[in-house]
Structures are given as C-alpha cells and as structure tokens.
Structure 1
Amino acid sequence: MTSAAPLKGIANNAAYCAARGAQNGFIKAVGLELARSGIQVNAIAQNYVNNDTYYPDDILDQPKFIEHVKRNVPTNRVGAPAETAELAAYLASENCTHMVGQLIPLAGGWAT
C-alpha cells in the first residue's frame, strides 16, 4: 500500500509527498530487482478510503468533508475497503503474473 499523493502532489504537504514518492520509487526498483526470481512487487496507491484508520469517527458525514470530496474526486465519493481488498487479492493471486513494479491508483480518479 502506498499513497496517491505523490502521483498528483498536494500543496502544503511536500514532505509527505516526497516520502511517499521515495516509497514509490523503491517499489519500482525492488520490483525490477526481484522479477527474475519470480517475485512480483506492486502497490496500490490509494486516497480517500473509508476506514477508521484514516478518518475520525464522524468526518465522513461532515458537510465540509463531503464537499471537499465532491470537488476533488471525480467519482464523488470515498473508496470502500472492499475495493482495496479486491485489488490486493488480485495482485496476490496466481492470475497476476505479468505485472511488475506498478503503482495502481485506486483513488476515484483523484490522481489522474
């Protein structure tokens, strides 16, 4: 898991974007290093996922937050944990055999 933040950039969050950007570069490099050994390294780059780790109890119901999401996320909503889980399951499955060092944005179009 990584963040979609360095794919787009966020004002006033340069350090966070830089740190996550370094992580993303690491994922790509390690993916290339391990590919010939049959090990695939990829990452889900997400943003705005509905779970208690990211958001306090009631923020998802706050009008200011809802407007922020509608203004910034083309799908007009936060992601569901099940969407992340399904993509992670695919990446870990035997069906995913030719993907290496990829950062897959799962951010409702936010990072596009």
Structure 2
Amino acid sequence: MSIYADRFKGQVAIVTGGASGVGREVAARLTQEGAKVVLWDMNADALADAKAATGAVDAVQLDVTDAEAVQAAADAVAAKLGRVDVLIASAGITGATVPVQEFPLDSWRRVIDINLNGLFYCCRAVIPHMLKNDYGRIVNVSSVAGKEGNPNASAYSASKAGVIGFTKSLGKELAKTGIRVNALTPATFKSPILEQLPQSQVDYMLSKIPAGRLGEVHEVAAMISWMASAECSFTTASTFDISGGRTTY
C-alpha cells in the first residue's frame, strides 16, 4: 500500500499497456494514491481483470497504432472525467530476436508502430487537454536498450532510442508550460513481456546488470509514480534510469 494516499487526488491518469506488467502495477499505485485511472490495452480479457484488480474507473480496448482511435479515446476520457493530468505510455512489444539480416520486415514495422508511433499518437492526443489546465505529466517508458542497444533486438532498441529522442524534443517544446515530459529507461524486469523472448536473450540481459537480478515491477512503478506527480516540477526532457547499475549515464 502506498504511503502517498492523496498524491494524485482529483487527477485523471491514462495508462497504456495497462492490462499487465508495469502498466498494471502503475495503475494500481496511482489509484491507491487518489487518481482516477483509465486503462488502455489491446487485450480485452486481461483488461477486464486489470480493471477489477487495480480499481481503475475505466478500461478501453485500444490499438495505439490507430491514431484516430487514440484521439477519440483521449477526447472521451476528457469529456467523461473532465480532464487529463497524467499519461503513462508503457504499451510495447519486443518483436523478433534475430540478427538484422534475418529480421522479418513485418516484425520491424510492428515494433516501430507500437513502441514509437503509438506512443507519439498518445502524447499528441493528450497534450491539448493538458494545456487547457496548464498542467500535465507524461512518462514515456523506454529501455536501457534504447541507450546501449541489445544484439538481436534491433527493432526494439531502435524504437526505444526513438522514445528517448522524442521525449527530449517534446519536453523542451512544453518546458514553459505546466507540462513535464520524461522517459524511464528500465533494465530487464519481471514482466509478461519476457515471455516474448528466448531464455538466451533474457540471460544475456541479466548478465549485464551489476545487481545480479531482474527488477521488480513495484520498483518501476514507484519511480514512475514520482515522475508522474506534481513533485517532479523542474525536470523535463530527461531520462531516469532504473537498471540495477547497468546504465549510469
């Protein structure tokens, strides 16, 4: 149970990829801290379970690669709940785990479309609603792969590097407003996304973490919750590491 019971009281938060993993954990924490949380995810069955488990006020089956659907969903949240204060953009997939010369074109396009284009669509859709109140917090979930690159994960690494660059650009665009935009670069943590990877790839990523263990989703959620709060007031266009010592820059 979070000790910050009222940190998000009166605020409305959207969490993409909210049906599982870090998205679900963050949604639960934001709810505990007073937010009205709306979950966006493609998995309808998992969404229903996540809504009940997290206490979210709404759950919407949504493909973030559909720009028009994303805009309509953002507008619907603002119309129904009166505002949008927080966006946690955590929807993502790993894609194929093979060398570049063997990388399937459809997998490359799908990873970029979800991890980077979809994140762009979500940010683009919520910004006008945040500007109405001159307040907002956007947390874009990237990865250490976006800083260092993981072999045999070129699409994932490229998409997550794009998230970092996009976050820096957007954060600077909005720096003179009340909106703060930052990215998180986790190392490998325990999440259903690992089921998309061969064990050899998981072992490789674990070997790069000086702490010698995978991260826990509650640790990631704790950092995201601070990044999404009013306390994060003078940091924008930045990246925060949570990597067990893998990245220190």
TM-score for the superposition, normalised by structure 2 = 0.39
Q: 1:55 aligns to what?
A: 194
- Is 2:103 aligned against 1:103? no
Alignment of 1:83-98 (within 5 A): 83-98=219-234
- Is 2:183 aligned against 1:43? yes
- Is 2:189 aligned against 1:12? no
Cα deviation for residue 3 of structure 1 reads 1.3
Q: Secondary structure at the match of 1:20?
A: helix
Cα deviation for residue 14 of structure 1 reads 2.9
Residues 110/86 of structure 1: CA separation in 2 closer, same or farther (3 Å cut): same
Supply the AA of the counterpart residue of 1:3.
S
Alignment of 1:69-80 (within 5 A): 71-80=207-216
Cα deviation for residue 50 of structure 1 reads 0.7
Calculate percent identity across the aligned residue pairs. Answer: 29
Cα deviation for residue 69 of structure 1 reads 5.3
Superposed structure 1 runs of 4+ greater than 6 Å apart: none
Q: Counting strand residues as a fraction of each chain, which structure ranks higher?
A: 2
Alignment of 1:27-42 (within 5 A): 27-42=167-182
Contact 1:69 1:78 in 2 (8 A): no
Distance across 2 between alignment mates of 1:45 and 1:69: 14
- Is 2:138 aligned against 1:2? no
Cα deviation for residue 70 of structure 1 reads 5.3
Q: Report the RMSD for the aligned CA atoms in angstroms.
A: 2.2
Distance across 1 between alignment mates of 2:172 and 2:242: 22
Q: Secondary structure at the match of 1:45?
A: strand
The answer for unaligned runs of 5 or more in structure 2 is 1-140
Distance across 1 between alignment mates of 2:160 and 2:202: 25
Residues 6/65 of structure 1: CA separation in 2 closer, same or farther (3 Å cut): closer
Structure number, greater radius of gyration: 2
Cα deviation for residue 55 of structure 1 reads 2.1
The answer for unaligned runs of 5 or more in structure 1 is none
Supply the AA of the counterpart residue of 1:34.
L
Distance across 2 between alignment mates of 1:5 and 1:69: 9
Distance across 2 between alignment mates of 1:13 and 1:65: 9
